[in-house]
Structures are given as structure tokens and as C-alpha cells.
Structure 1
Amino acid sequence: MAWKVLKDETVFEHAPFLRVRKEQVEVRPGQIIDDFYKIDLRPFALIIPFLENGKVLVIRQYKHGPGAEMLGFPAGYVDPGEPADLTASRELMEETGLQAERLIPMGAYVDNGNQTGSTGHYFAALNCRRVAEPAPGDLEEFAYEELTPDQIDAAMKAGQFSVIHHVAAWGLWLMHRP
């Protein structure tokens, strides 16, 4: 049974990045929680770029969340009103200069089952080729590596991918690959 939201109040907002809401919810008839907090973060698209040579382009960069340098795949925020597949193509181009022959959607998932967090839209980009120089933005410094799928598996087992979204994307690929 879905919970019934009786009241929804924004208690903090730093648009467009973060909003914290306090809800009053009825979880079942007569049982009310007065202060159920939800966190809304921007949706994102994450792309696994498979190159024409069969390898995958990964990005090595510092991520402030884990406070460490890590491996990951290209990703970026979905702009308001923008379809996630267009975000995926745009971010792939901006961060890597690559264009995909085919984009495979692998699903959209919420990263926190109770507080919402953000929704990730996951894609595999097949037969990618360089058509431009990367232009990732002023706060992002990237080093690029081409890895085989076996090398990605090993890097994940070694903890070099430290953000769950990137690990989840690889697991989705293993389920969706043609």
C-alpha cells in the first residue's frame, strides 16, 4: 500500500542541486509519521562508452564525495525538460569527444529507496568514435584510459570504481549486452 502524503514542506533548498523536504505521511490507516525527510538531487545520465576497438573508455578523476581519485564512466546532470538519452549523448560528447553509433538504454533507477536521492539513467554507447576534443568543464580534470571488460572487472574488484552508480552501470551492462 502506498503511503499517503498529508503535508510536504521544503526545509532547505539550493536550486538546482539540492532540496530537503519534510513530509507528514500516513503509512497505514491511523499511523502517521510527522517528520519523514526526503532529499531531492538532480537526475543524471551515466554512459559506458564502448570504442570501435572493443575496449571501454573510462575516466580517472578526483571525486569529492569519496575524497579520492577513482575510475568511472562519463556522466552528467539531466537538464530540466531534456530527455535522458539526449543528456547521455551530450555528456558523452562533452566529457570524451565521442559519438556513439548506437545508444542502448539500460534503465532508470532511484539511488535511495526511502529518501529518493537522485534518479540515474543508465546507457551503453556502442561503437564510439572520436569526433571532437573533450570539453569537460572548468572543475573537471580527466585522465582517460582504455580498458578491456576483464580489466574493468579487475578494477572494480580492486575498489578503483568507488561510486556505486558506476559499479551498478557495469552490472546493468552485463544484463543488457547484446
Structure 2
Amino acid sequence: MSNLNWEKLSSKYLVKEQWATLRVDTCRMPDGKIVDDYYVLEYPDWVNAVAFTEDGEVLLIRQYRHGAEKVFTEIPGGCIDPGETPEEAVVRELLEETGYAFDTLEPICTVYANPSTSSNRTHSFILTGGKKVQEQDLDGKEEIEVFTVSVAELKELVLQNKIEQALHISSIFFALAKLGKL
């Protein structure tokens, strides 16, 4: 196989904020061509959870997403904080967003949202044995409704395009495949 990696010659940050960073790179392709002004969005890595209650129901959430300006049905998840492992982040996010704690967690996949222009990864997990142990602990910009569905209802939501977040669909696919429930 040939080397297809680009060499980064320079990088300049245009925006550097907590939730998003935009940089512009100049790179050299393997054939020597120079690529000017290649824009890259840097985000923290994310976690997603296909989380099952102790009764075998799947936890879902509904919340407003301002980028798309609409309410989405999703699986729980969020950003990995500095110094956190993906496992620690998914446990924290579930507790904050849903109030549930889980007996087990298992990694199922790591995917990239858009590796052409974004640097982050999404780590997905299956969690089982969920029990509500506290009320939600949401930040000031979150309003989240929590509800449960059966595996059959989850599949129907996906097939009806009622879960529209691509990274959540991939997490659900890998979880159902792992559990033999496709």
C-alpha cells in the first residue's frame, strides 16, 4: 500500500473555544501538491450509550438541537471532559442526563463524525442493568425528556427515520448486532 498521508506544513487557529475550535492548515500531499487553507473543526471526543434498564427497555432522550433548530429523539451521550476516559464519560453523562446508573458497560465501536473536516471520535457503549438512582443533573443549556422503548420499538424508530442523528444510528446498529437483535 502506498502512503496516502498528508504532511502538515503549518497550522493557524481561527477560533479556539471550549466546544469548538477551527484551524486552517497548509499541507503537502504525497505527490508533492500543496493544499492551502484546509479548514479543520476540532471538537472534544464524544460518547454515546445504548443503555438498557434492568427491565430490558432502552433509554432514549428527546432534546432541542439548535444547529438543526429542532427536537431530536436520541440515545444519551455527550462530550468527554478533559482527563476523563470514555468509560468515565459515558457513566457521568448517563447519570446527568437520565439519572440512571448501570451494572455493566461494554465498548461496541469508535467512529468518526466527519473525518474530512472534523478531528473527533465518538466512542459507543452498551450499558445494562440500568436503575434510576437520582434526578437529572442538567447544565443550564439542557432540557431533556427521558423515556424508554422496547428493542422492537427502537428498531421501528430507526426504520421510520425517527432517530435522525447518524452517530446514534451507528451506535444502535453496532449494539443490536452485538446482542444478536438485528
TM > 0.5 fold call: yes
Alignment equivalent of 2:7, drawn from 4, 9, 27: 4
Residue aligning to 2:78: 76
Q: Distance in 2 between matches of 1:172 and 1:143?
A: 24
Per-residue CA deviation, residues 54-108 of structure 1 (Å, 9 max, x unaligned), is: 1101112222222212211111111111111000001111111111110011122
One-letter identity of the residue aligned with 2:168? H
Q: Does the alignment pair 1:121 with 2:127?
A: no
Alignment equivalent of 2:146, drawn from 141, 144, 147: 144
How far does residue 126 in structure 1 lie from its aligned partner after superposition?
0.8
Secondary structure at the counterpart of residue 120 of structure 2: strand
Question: Contact 1:98–1:128 at 8 Å: present in 2 too?
Answer: yes
Q: Does the alignment pair 1:18 with 2:20?
A: yes
Write out aligned runs for 1:148-167 (5 A): 148-167=150-169
- Relative to total residues, which structure has the larger strand share, 1 or 2? 1
Structure 2 residue ranges without an equivalent (≥5): none
The RMSD of aligned alpha carbons is 1.5
Q: Distance in 2 between matches of 1:22 and 1:141?
A: 34
Q: Distance in 1 between matches of 2:67 and 2:75?
A: 16
Q: Does the alignment pair 1:175 with 2:174?
A: no
Residue aligning to 1:98: 100
Question: Contact 2:48–2:90 at 8 Å: present in 1 too?
Answer: yes
Equivalent pairs counted in the alignment come to: 177
Q: Distance in 1 between matches of 2:64 and 2:14?
A: 31
Larger mean Cα displacement after TM superposition, 112-121 or 89-98: 112-121
Alignment equivalent of 2:60, drawn from 48, 58, 61: 58
Structure 1 residue ranges without an equivalent (≥5): none
TM-score by length of structure 2 reads 0.90
How far does residue 147 in structure 1 lie from its aligned partner after superposition?
0.4
Question: Contact 1:3–1:27 at 8 Å: present in 2 too?
Answer: yes
How far does residue 117 in structure 1 lie from its aligned partner after superposition?
4.5
Q: Distance in 2 between matches of 1:126 and 1:133?
A: 19
Residue aligning to 1:41: 43
How far does residue 159 in structure 1 lie from its aligned partner after superposition?
2.1
Residue aligning to 2:33: 31
Secondary structure at the counterpart of residue 113 of structure 2: strand
Identity %: 24
Secondary structure at the counterpart of residue 116 of structure 1: coil
TM-score by length of structure 1 reads 0.92
Detail structure 1 runs of 4+ shifted over 4 Å in the superposition: none
